[in-house]
Amino acid sequence: MMKLRRATSLLLPALLLLPALHFAWPTAEQVTVEAAALPDAARAPADPAPFPEEAAIEELAEAPLTLDAPQAAMVEAVPYAPPGTPSPEPEPAFTEQTVTVASGDTLLGLLTEAGVPAADAHAALAELLPLFPAHRLRPGQELLLRFDTDDETRLMALEINPGPGHTVAVERQGDGWLADEARLPEHPHLAQVDAVVTGGVFPALVNAGLPANLAYSIVRAFSHRVDFQRDLRAGDRVAVAFERMRSEDGTLLRHGRVLYAALTLSGQTQEIWRHEGPDGEVGWYDAAGRPLAGGFLRTPLNGARMSSGYGMRRHPILGYNRMHRGVDFAAPTGTPIYAASDGVVHSVRRERGYGNVIRIRHPNNVLTLYAHLSRFAPGMAAGTRVRQGQIIGRVGSTGMSTGPHLHYELHVNGQAVNPATSRLPAPPALAGRALLQYQTARTDLNRQRARLARGLTEVALAPQ
């Protein structure tokens, strides 16, 4: 009886879920008429013997229905969802907050203001800064902060976009942090600007649409052969071909390298091409493969005006005539000063007349001197190796000086010579296989530039 009751307790709930069946029971009159029409042999006995199962079924029907917990779970109703109904959206794992960088903000300060505990902020930034140094933070950039939904002060991730198509992020991983960056694939295009020089080469290029950092690189490249204070004339021109890196859909991601430049002075054009040698050394060369670097910069700073030349002059402080053994360049305090050529720092010190002064020794018994500096660049000390164009200090007015300027001297075999007119040994030109590779690349670039001359604004380049 117990087994039968348990089986019935399982079957009855299932039967209850089936659609109800509707029967039309016959009336007593219908039964009498139909029975009378049957032959005697087909009629049922007046008092049939009861089946043995009927008593058991009657007992089950009268017993109360009970379901224990496991059986009840088997028949739990599930809401019906029509085919094609989308699954419900999962609850978000994070809450997000966007912070816009304002002038004077720091990464640590922004995280602290957002409620991030100091320990979490320091730990996250320690992983982020190698990929995104603090000095790259700019007003207008946005930080995307993700917090734990159960703890609005628990930082889970931080993202920032330093530029188009470039994302840097740091994410909590267990008890630590993991930083990563992603960039969209870049496709190089060639573009060119052409400008008339009016107020200087640098402002002319920037006004024509060349980014400032690329314009500075051209000024430094030509400074080996051009004195921008004395050689420029009205009507001179400058042209620069450079890379623009775009995404697959054409979005400008960043500007790439300068590949070519031409400077026309008094009707004479000087052209230079960028070339990378097999050892990875990058330099500027003319059409014959002669390098511009390796000599000495004519002016070891940008945007300066020659205020005093080499030779005898009346000293502005002492009041009498004496030999001026260098040239002076007037420039605002703090203007960067560059090493005129590769060499080794000979001395870094303060002297009565020169003020803060640096001397650098170069090959072939050549020495350069830079005086009246406001400060020295970090790391400058006797014995330090420097490269041409490296910042060694800043313009100032220390020592016997009437205003901020650079006093620059050039010594050969211990004797001061005129930096503006002296001819020093030139570095060797490309030869052999290196020259052939350079000329092949130069010819290909000139072919692409010719397409720009026919009216195109940009030309797609082969992937690097």
- b/e sequence 388-418, b meaning 16+ C-beta within 10 Å: bbbebbbbbebbbbeebbbbbbbbeeeebbe
412 and 445 both lie in a single domain: no
Tell whether pTM > 0.85: no
222 and 371 both lie in a single domain: no
- Strand 282-285 to 268-276 pairing: antiparallel
One digit per residue, pLDDT tens: the chain, 464 residues?
Answer: 444 444 444 444 444 444 444 444 455 455 444 444 445 544 445 555 555 555 555 555 555 555 454 444 444 555 555 666 666 655 557 789 999 999 999 999 999 999 999 999 999 999 999 999 988 899 989 999 999 888 888 999 999 998 888 999 999 998 899 999 998 898 999 999 999 998 788 899 999 999 999 998 898 888 777 877 677 888 899 999 999 999 988 889 999 999 999 999 988 899 999 998 777 778 899 999 988 876 788 788 876 777 777 877 666 666 667 778 888 999 999 999 999 988 999 999 999 889 999 999 998 899 999 999 999 999 999 999 998 889 999 999 998 888 899 999 999 999 999 887 777 767 788 999 999 999 999 999 999 999 888 777 888 887 76
378 and 351 both lie in a single domain: yes
328 and 413 both lie in a single domain: yes
In a domain, 18, yes or no: no
What per-residue confidence (pLDDT) applies to 320?
A: 60
Domain final residue pick, 183, 210, 230: 183
In a domain, 71, yes or no: no
What per-residue confidence (pLDDT) applies to 80?
A: 58
Domain final residue pick, 183, 203, 223: 183
**Number of domain units in the chain:** 3
In a domain, 9, yes or no: no
Query: Residue by residue, what is the 3-state secondary structure of the chain?
Result: CHHHHHHHHHHHHHHHHCCCCCCCCCCHHHHHHHHHCCCHHHCCCCCCCCCHHHHHHHHHHHCCCCCCHHHHHHCCCCCCCCCCCCCCCCCCCEEEEEEECCCCCCHHHHHHHCCCCHHHHHHHHHHHCCCCCHHHCCCCCEEEEEEECCEEEEEEEEEEEEECCEEEEEEEECCEEEEEEEECCCEEEEEEEEEECCCCHHHHHHHCCCCHHHHHHHHHHHCCCCCCCCCCCCCCEEEEEEEEEECCCCCEEEEEEEEEEEEEECCEEEEEEEEECCCCCEEEECCCCCECCCCCCCCCCCCCEEEECCEEEECCCCCCEEEECCEEEECCCCCEEECCCCEEEEEEEEECCCEEEEEEEECCCEEEEEEEEEEECCCCCCCCEECCCCEEEEEECCCCCCCCEEEEEEEECCEEECCCCCCCCCCCCCCHHHHHHHHHHHHHHHHHHHHHHCCCCCEECCCC
What per-residue confidence (pLDDT) applies to 85?
A: 65
Q: List the CATH number of the domain containing 339.
A: 2.70.70.10
139 and 172 both lie in a single domain: yes
What per-residue confidence (pLDDT) applies to 359?
A: 96
431 and 288 both lie in a single domain: yes
| Residue at token pair 């020495």 | 367
In a domain, 343, yes or no: yes
What per-residue confidence (pLDDT) applies to 382?
A: 95
What per-residue confidence (pLDDT) applies to 230?
A: 72
311 and 412 both lie in a single domain: yes
Domain that holds residue 341: 305-417
In a domain, 299, yes or no: no
Contact indicator for 94, 148 with CB cutoff of 8 Å: yes
360 and 450 both lie in a single domain: no
Dihedral of CA 394/397/403/407: which sign? negative
In a domain, 135, yes or no: yes
What per-residue confidence (pLDDT) applies to 299?
A: 83
318 and 278 both lie in a single domain: no
Tokens of 143: 């930080």
Cα 96 to Cα 156: distance, rounded to the nearest angstrom: 10
Q: Among residues 373, 378, 379, 389, which one has the least CA distance to residue 333? A: 373
Q: List the CATH number of the domain containing 271.
A: 3.10.450.350
In a domain, 81, yes or no: no
Domain final residue pick, 141, 165, 183: 183
How many beta carbons lie within 10 A of that of residue 53, not counting itself? 9
390 and 328 both lie in a single domain: yes
Cα 269 to Cα 88: distance, rounded to the nearest angstrom: 70
CA dihedral 22, 27, 32, 36 (to 10 degrees): -50
What per-residue confidence (pLDDT) applies to 235?
A: 86
104 and 141 both lie in a single domain: yes
310 and 413 both lie in a single domain: yes
Cα 104 to Cα 140: distance, rounded to the nearest angstrom: 11
